[in-house]
Structure 1
């Protein structure tokens, strides 16, 4: 069965350049990265369902995009294909959007907590899991908390989500955040002193997505003013 999802909501083919495994800073989450790569490349993991939990900004979306990208890169050699879906966007549509997705060998579903107040969607996700497992394919979910902590009325869905391998993502330390931000700046051709990176993580949002966004803003301001990335410049540019 062909999926009936609106193509405008599907983001499986070309995730943002910075949303790949090579660009993910694992910190204490290396086991998660290794497991997801093994799932895609070897398809020889302990279960066919993986669940990632963690607060916003810890990299859940990054990892699901990375799984999708890596899987689709393998299509030519192994016939692996993947799809990425964000339930925050999809929830406005019918749960019938999930029909036919079991044809993909890896289905990545972000923000499962979005179904907490939508019982029909809870049933739709439950049915999708059963269809995917029946054909021997794989699912990767993400949510803000572990399955049993979600406010999901359909207990069968909670049991299904909890049945797989569950990981709780750990935040990066200050030192790891500084190193990651300096590396990302270097990749963009920017020289970001470690003391400036340290200032940013202490006085701005600590999640990597926000930090990369502000780094792009500082890059534009730096080019416009022909000024280096210093703490006084950052304070002025961000009005801190």
Structure 2
């Protein structure tokens, strides 16, 4: 894969799943990767790679994130952190569940872009990657708050891309279909067995490394090329998630 023009990256939600895979893949491209997550324990495995620098902070606390970065120049911002507080109709969710879902999936990425994009523009070198979801484009029952927040991030990216035209700063939205991670674990009451049996055990879901590979691909394209939006789905999953064909 060609070299990337970038030197540093910030990956949020880095302690597990897609975030951890992203950190490893971007470090493999030669970037110094700042891995942000709340769990110090979850970041320890990544710390074995000298190119990955763990940052322990809550992504919704923008002041704490700024302090943790300590003025580091970030070329690539990957807004990966996501949260699904519950999978229920909106009218059955609590106010706290909705607020938390919006804070992690929409407000935090907006604040990070506000914080880091000015430096990218000044250096004329930068790339924002927003990890959204096919639930932002299609109907998945019980995901009004999550899908709505991610759809808001998708639209914010489209507007920001317009504002960035001519700045040499790129913005890519990556919208994965079903990925085998623990993002729905809380919604399943912490029951890993039920989560695995319901969503992953008898289907070929995407793996975190698949999403990381898609991100690496767009980061290594020539600087005059921007993949604005990309939807990455399992081969067996039909658009919208209503049909999931199971191989014989």
Q: TM-score, normalised by structure 2?
A: 0.32
Structure with greater helix share of residues: 1
Give the greater-gyration-radius structure (CA): 1
Structure with greater strand share of residues: 2
Q: TM-score, normalised by structure 1?
A: 0.33
